[in-house]
Amino acid sequence: MLVKADVSLVGPKGNVSGTALVDTGASITLLDEETADRIGARLVGRCTRLVVADGHEVSGELAIVDKLIIEGEELPGAHVVVLRFPGEIKERLKAHGFSDWCIVGLSALEILGLAANVAKGRVEKVGSFLLTAINTRSRSQRIC
């Protein structure tokens, strides 16, 4: 089942909201370049190559948006990859009821304490995990 999320992106020139596909195989959020221009996403001058499911590579540029909001959870200063979404991808997204300007990657979900529930087709709040080291010799000393 495809996973969806209510998403808003905020930039210095505006914002956009909609229902985005959560790509459980993607690490970073993708933003179509037309939308990036419209909201004023700040390109950082670092190009990146992504391998898509069928094996071919696409290039994009790393950018920062003022806020990425997923299911009401705000991530200020979020990194996204800006690229030109091919017409075929935009059409497929629209055909499944998704916005055609954003695909959410898992790193943003993880930072926000969210997880993709493939069985329900939605993201859910799961919280964050904390790994703690314990010194058994002296409980009064702080580790960090």
Give yes or no for residue 94 having a pLDDT over 90: yes
Q: Between 21 and 140, where is the model more confident?
A: 21
Give yes or no for residue 56 having a pLDDT over 90: no
* pLDDT mean over 33-56: 89
Residue 56 is encoded by which pair of tokens?
A: 């071919």
pLDDT (0 to 100) of residue 86: 87
**Token pair 């799961």: residue:** 126
pTM score: 0.84
Q: Kindly give the pairing relationship between strand 42-51 and strand 30-32.
A: unpaired
Could you give the CA distance from residue 118 to residue 140 in angstroms, rounded to a whole number? 44
Beta-carbon count within 10 A of 98 CB: 22
HSE toward the beta carbon, residue 28, CA cutoff 13 A: 18
Q: Kindly give the pairing relationship between strand 3-11 and strand 14-22.
A: antiparallel
Span of 38-42, 47-51, 64-68, 128-132 with lowest mean pLDDT = 128-132
* pLDDT mean over 94-119: 95
Q: Which CATH class is domain 3-125?
A: mainly beta
Could you give the CA distance from residue 5 to residue 123 in angstroms, rounded to a whole number? 6
Confidence of residue 103 (pLDDT cuts 50, 70, 90): very high
